[in-house]
Amino acid sequence: MRRLAVFLLTACLGVSAMAADAIDSKRQKEFGDITVHYNTFTSSFLQPDTAQAVGVVRSKNKGLINVTVIKGVTPVAAQVTGTIKDLSGRSEILTFKQITEKGAIYYLAPYNVPQQEVRVFTINVETGGKAHGFQFNQELFPAD
């Protein structure tokens, strides 16, 4: 499970298998003392044992979004929700699963990647009685 934590933290902090959003290359949003790190990648990049441990299906046509909420330097629990929308307006609800391991807290949600296209992600995070939201665009590519 330690490999999982290292992989997800690395993915969250910027190593992505997909093109980075040029507008916000840091892949983080700050809301006062809360920092939300986020990243997307194709689920086939997870090692089979890691995918099984977190209950993720590995597929070249499945993406994952990884969200971590930090207060100061400490990961904190949050309620994370969101949607992913294509440019025609078709929307899919993101269902996040909390992964907790040795002080690390991550939120993962799968989504479909049927073809290369730009999608709009809307992410909402509630922690400490405060709600924060943001959007970002991501060009998605099915893995080879």
Q: Is the pLDDT of residue 6 over 60?
A: no
Buried b (16+ CB within 10 A) or exposed e, 59-87: beebbbbbbbbbeeeebeebebbbbbeee
Q: Give the model's pLDDT for residue 141.
A: 87
Per-residue pLDDT, averaged over 96-124, amounts to 94
Q: Give the model's pLDDT for residue 2.
A: 52
Q: What is the pLDDT of residues 112-133, one digit of tens each?
A: 998 999 999 999 999 999 999 9
Per-residue pLDDT, averaged over 20-47, amounts to 85
Q: Is the pLDDT of residue 20 over 70?
A: no
Q: How many domains are there within the chain?
A: 1
Per-residue pLDDT, averaged over 53-67, amounts to 93
pTM of the model: 0.81
Count CB neighbours of 55 within 10 A: 10
Q: Give the model's pLDDT for residue 1.
A: 55
Q: What is the CATH number of the domain that holds 51?
A: 2.60.40.3340
Name the burial class of residue 36, with classes exposed (0-12), middle (13-18) and buried (19+) by CB atoms within 10 angstroms of its CB: buried
Percent of the chain whose predicted confidence (pLDDT) is above 70: 82
Q: Give the model's pLDDT for residue 24.
A: 63
- Residue ranges making up the domain that contains 123: 2-140
Per-residue pLDDT, averaged over 53-75, amounts to 94
